[in-house]
Amino acid sequence: MKSAFLQLSFPILLLMAGQSVAEDLKVTCPNPLPKTPTNLVRSDTYKNSPFKAGEMSEYAISWMGMLAGYGSIEVQAPQKVDGVWQRAYHVEGRTGDWFKGIYVANDSASAVVRPWDEGVTKFYIEQQEGKFLGKSFVMKKWLDFSHDRCKVMEKTEHSETGTMSIERGLQYGAIDVIGATLKLREFNYVPGKVERFLVYTSEKNWFLEATPLAIEDVTVPAGTFKAMKVKLQTFIGKDLQQKGDVFVWIASDKQRTLVQVQGDIKIGSVYMRLSKYTPGL
């Protein structure tokens, strides 16, 4: 279970825990490159999006039917990168008190995302994990993305293995795992109509497919919602990589809140249920 608690916390990371990626997509840079907007104003950063700055979604995470911990997804105030306003997201996951007898974790991640195509600009993740009264580790990772060069520079600091930096290939416009979780809320789902987009994570470029199935009534600690049940699958090119089914329920309300996640991964069955929701402004 080492390095895995955020995999319990969020649907895309949960997907990555259940897949086996043997190879990466062949990276091809567009020529000519799409033009980058330079006249975006701060107030338009979240324009036409169902989520706004200040939104906070909190979740209870269960593993094998038992409460394992808690997670949150926060939409933050816009940030300026290279003179351009961009979106900012932050997620956290931590183990509950009883679960600390099995495993202790306090993980977080942040992303800065281009509002015009949701391509990731910067990503940071910090994991503090280990066994109760046993050996623990700390891992920090910084990723800086250059879509114009189709490259990502990755720096990792690990308490056990030291510091490492490496440059990897990036498919232009790829979305990070946090941005992908929020992008799932932006589609006008029609049952049977598959939505597909490109994601970069775990040093790989891959595709996420979202297949809407049906509207269902879902009861979670935050209340009862009418929500679209969506099946998620991961692909490298045309090849299905995922092992086990993963479903998300997205509320049919104005905010299209992520209400529930259900999945089977290597370490067992996981549920993530909305416990509290605070809308943004």
What are the percentages of helix, strand and coil residues in the chain, rounded to 5? 10, 55, 35
- Whether 144 and 136 have beta carbons less than 8 Å apart is answered as no
Query: Above pLDDT 90, what percent of the chain?
Result: 57
Q: Tell me the C-alpha to C-alpha distance, in Å, between residue 97 and each of 94, 125, 167.
A: 10, 23, 39
Taking the C-alpha atoms of residue 187 and residue 4, their distance in angstroms, rounded to an integer, is 29
- Which tokens sit at 154? 């990755």
Given CA atoms 193, 198, 202, 203 in this order, what sign does their dihedral have? positive
The pTM assigned to this predicted structure is: 0.89
Q: Is 280 left (phi over 0), alpha (psi -120 to 50) or beta?
A: beta
Instruction: Read off φ and ψ for residue 182, nearest 5 degrees.
Output: -75, -35
**Band of pLDDT at residue 265, cut at 50, 70 and 90:** low
- Whether 21 and 208 have beta carbons less than 8 Å apart is answered as no
In one letter, which amino acid is 82? D
pLDDT at residue 268, rounded to an integer: 67
41-46: average pLDDT: 96
221-243: average pLDDT: 80
- Whether 259 and 226 have beta carbons less than 8 Å apart is answered as no
Name the least confident of 16-30, 68-82, 195-209, 217-231.
16-30
Q: Where are the beta strands (DSSP E) in 11-150?
A: 56-63, 66-81, 84-95, 104-113, 120-130, 136-146
Taking the C-alpha atoms of residue 215 and residue 217, their distance in angstroms, rounded to an integer, is 7
Task: Dump pLDDT digits (tens) for 110-129.
Answer: 999 999 999 999 999 998 87
Most confident of 142-156, 229-243, 265-279: 142-156
Q: Where are the domains of the chain?
A: 5-278
Taking the C-alpha atoms of residue 88 and residue 80, their distance in angstroms, rounded to an integer, is 10
Determine the number of helices (DSSP H) and then strands (DSSP E) in the chain. 3, 15
pLDDT at residue 242, rounded to an integer: 58
Instruction: Read off φ and ψ for residue 99, nearest 5 degrees.
Output: -70, -20
pLDDT at residue 130, rounded to an integer: 72
Q: Is 268 left (phi over 0), alpha (psi -120 to 50) or beta?
A: left
